[in-house]
Structure formats: C-alpha cells, structure tokens
Structure 1
Amino acid sequence: MVAVSFDIDRVVAALGYVAASAVHGSRRVRFFSGNPRRADLDRLAALVARGAVRPVVDRVFPLAAIAGAHQALEDGGVRGKIVVSV
C-alpha cells in the first residue's frame, strides 16, 4: 500500500512529485513530504496522552539480540514495531 500526500499549499511541487514517481513504476520509492500543522500535532498529542493511540508492537528484542531484530525485519511479515530494549 502506498499513501500519497498532496500539499495544497504547493500544488505544482506536489503534482511534480506524483508525476515523477509515476514515471518509475509501482516498484519504486514514492516521494513524501510531511508538513503537519501545529493544530494536528496538538490533537495527536492529546490522543496519545489519553491513551487512545498506542503503537502496535510485534516483538521486543534485548540489545544483545539485535541481530535477531534485523533478521525479523529482513524476513518480512512484521505486523507492528520491532522494539530493542536497552
């Protein structure tokens, strides 16, 4: 799945990024520029503070097993964040 962000404040640049990414086909990296507004970040912070937004953790690895964390990412099929505890 690919998400496309469209910056209405910079329409020409946004259209240029979409066009450039389409030239390279579906298997290439897509351009993305995130420019959140202060109100959006404040709303997100409030949701996190209330506990309404929590990360999905796939697995936790101790620092000594960091090679296993890398291997899990390379193998694919990860359904959440890989956490390395220190």
Structure 2
Amino acid sequence: MKIAFLAMAGLVMGVVGGATVGIGLGLAWIELFNTSEFEGYAGMLVFFTFMPLGALIGGLGGATLFGMAAFRDHELAIDGKRMPHQGIKGV
C-alpha cells in the first residue's frame, strides 16, 4: 500500500513539476527561435506542446522514482526482520 501511495504522490508532484519546467522551456524556445506571436501562436505552442510533454515526462519520472524508492525501502524492511544477533555468551 505504501508503494502505491508513494508512486501516486510522485505522479502528482512529477506532473506539476514537469508542466512547470515545460512552460519554462517553451518560453525559452519562443525567445530563442523568435516564434511568431500572430493570433496567439506562441502561447498555443507553449501550452499545447511543451506543457503536456513536460507533464507527461515529469509524471512518469516522478512515479518511477518514488515507486522505486518505496520498493527499496520495503525490501530493506523485509531484510531487517531477521533474528537479532545473540552476542557472545559467558562475557
């Protein structure tokens, strides 16, 4: 359950972060390549191309990273349930 929750949290945070980065990259693209602003073309380019691509990549990356981190933590918790070391007797 913890793995699924953290993967979903990573998905949401990755989508928001990726969309933000996508908007920033789109605005940089417009300035760098002097994209035409006729009838809102530049804005449509940013919000219909760069933002969805950034959200998609960020969401997949966030869900993967958070899911892997939770899965590794789960593996460590399973390994930690071994019998504790008894120590040396007679000391």
> Do the two structures share a fold, i.e. TM-score over 0.5?
no
Higher relative contact order (CA 8 A, sep 6+): 2
Determine which structure has the larger helix proportion and give its number. Answer: 2
Give the TM-score, by structure 2 length. Answer: 0.22
Determine which structure has the larger strand proportion and give its number. Answer: 1
User: Which entry has the higher C-alpha Rg, 1 or 2?
Assistant: 2
Give the TM-score, by structure 1 length. Answer: 0.23
